[in-house]
Structure 1
């Protein structure tokens, strides 16, 4: 089931598979697969998951013309104790430029197993001031099911230059999250599964959530069959159901700042304007004993 393109507030930020199939040869188009896999351990709070690159699956078969972006190894801060911490903005812009992202390019982002890896890259691009990127609705699953053009092997786009115009307000750290607790003007939104939100599953160390936060699991916002986003009316009802108001600032978080970007992307498409992502999320919060936590 496809989301009607006319529903999108920012239609340039989403493309359907038929559009991409018709534009594969556009000279200024850059297509990137963004897949990363998390292999959950659920028995060691010091190692909640093992990160596995999606490069092997990409090289086996991918959207024709696509290159691969390795989030952890190419776009994350190697000096951080957490897996996917954002680099400094100038550094991040340079890393994107090395992958072929330039001021005049048009980007299409997709991933496997859900759109959250693509939305993470999309949010990172926005944070350095780059707005000409779109999510392939349904990602690899829909493209493959429809028997669209694919290829195997590797591909790299030539390096270019990208001007950094940082938007630091798109990411926050633990201090800003702490300050937002009990602030009626802020909604803290957890994109993790309900068992992690409630505290039933202690994957990240201390079980539970940021106090006062509400829960809309990112995986609940896409169709399980073809990974397309749910109709925006349904998404709006879901956000309304947990009490998110348009006059609030929304701090999106999850385990490591990945799933949170899918919630943030859809809030953006619904016209919520004051949105940010807690970058290190529960990977940091649950392991810092000085920070408060709550469970059901």
Structure 2
């Protein structure tokens, strides 16, 4: 079953589905709906047929090169969720895609391109008074096999040896970027020298946190000197917000973009890397 484009016109609009499409296809045998919200939120009500996947196992702090979960751990997570290699996956959350995009990124990093996000997530689904369930969804176990796709992830050595002209996109808040506050998990405030800041929240709008129209997003990034022809490394503090911006740029047709999944929590803990602060450059 091929997921059809139902979202507003984006260059890669098939990455995003609307509640109307999901409501019409939720019973499809080859479709798995994944809820990335908290256990409490899921128990209080979820989209019928949705399984819940915990966010924490999706980042492995012991893997200091890529921070990706071990392949066997990710395989088991997918097996338990009933996701096989031919399963179409629709993911949602209630945080503007921040949690959903983390799973989307990892599915793609492990070779599973049959995944999309629900535009507007839980908020838009409920705003349209669509059915909800409080019963936990039980699904048969699947057989998932990972296939690593290296060009989705930027390891630290690749970041440090990047070529001139490669854009480092920092999607943290302006206060984190300008060193007014320390990012969650970081050892100090600051930013990677030369990084450009476009906060991930700028990708979505309205009470349902829907993705902004393609033209508005493209103009926003172009104003910061970011265009589809460029090579981009995106990061935040711990990878989740970066995954949402990765998704957004892929939605817009950007192809040469990778996530530094260790992000600033990893970078700020290193002993011999430069840290930039307003009017100060600390070269360790």
Quote the offset at 1:17 in angstroms. Answer: 0.8
CA deviations over 1:174-210 (Å, ceiling 9, x no partner)? 2221222xx3331000111111111111232321111
- Partners of 2:166 and 2:71 lie apart in 1 by 25
5 Å-filtered alignment, 1:1-296, equals: 5-35=7-37, 54-73=38-57, 75-77=58-60, 79-80=62-63, 85-89=67-71, 91-180=73-162, 183-203=163-183, 204-296=186-278
Aligned mates of 2:137, 2:7 — CA distance in 1: 30
> How far, CA to CA, are the matches of 1:11 and 1:202 in structure 2?
35
CA deviation after TM superposition for structure 1 residue 94, in Å: 4.0
What CA deviation, in whole Å up to 9, does each residue of 1:38-87 have, x standing for no partner? xxxxxxxxxxxxxxxx11111111111111000214x33374589x9312
Task: Give the Cα–Cα distance (whole angstroms) in 1 for the partners of residues 160 and 61 of structure 2.
Answer: 25
Specify the SS of the correspondent of 1:148: coil
Show CA shifts across 1:147-167 (max 9, x none).
111011322322111232210
Secondary structure of the residue aligned to 1:236 is helix
Return the offset for 1:91: 4.3
What corresponds to 1:47 in structure 2? none
Q: Give me the whole-angstrom Cα distance separating, in 1, the residues matched to 2:138 and 2:201.
A: 30
User: What is the distance in 1 between the residues matched to 2:121 and 2:180?
Assistant: 31
Q: Distance in 2 between matches of 1:239 and 1:199?
A: 22
**Aligned partners of 2:59 and 2:174: how far apart in 1?**
27
Distance in 2, matches of 1:80 and 1:268, equals 26
Change (3 A) 1:209 1:144: same
**Counterparts of 2:157 and 2:232 in 1: how far apart (Å)?**
15
Q: 1:95 to 1:78 in 2, by over 3 A?
A: farther
SS in structure 2 opposite 1:107? strand
Structure 2: runs of 5+ lacking an equivalent: 279-284
Whether the 8 Å CA contact 1:113–1:141 is kept in 2: the answer is no
Q: CA deviation at 1:103?
A: 1.9
User: Structure 1: where are the runs of 5+ without partners?
Assistant: 36-53
C-alpha change, 1:229 and 1:281, in structure 2 (3 Å) is same
Q: CA–CA distance in 1 between the matches of 2:63 and 2:156?
A: 14
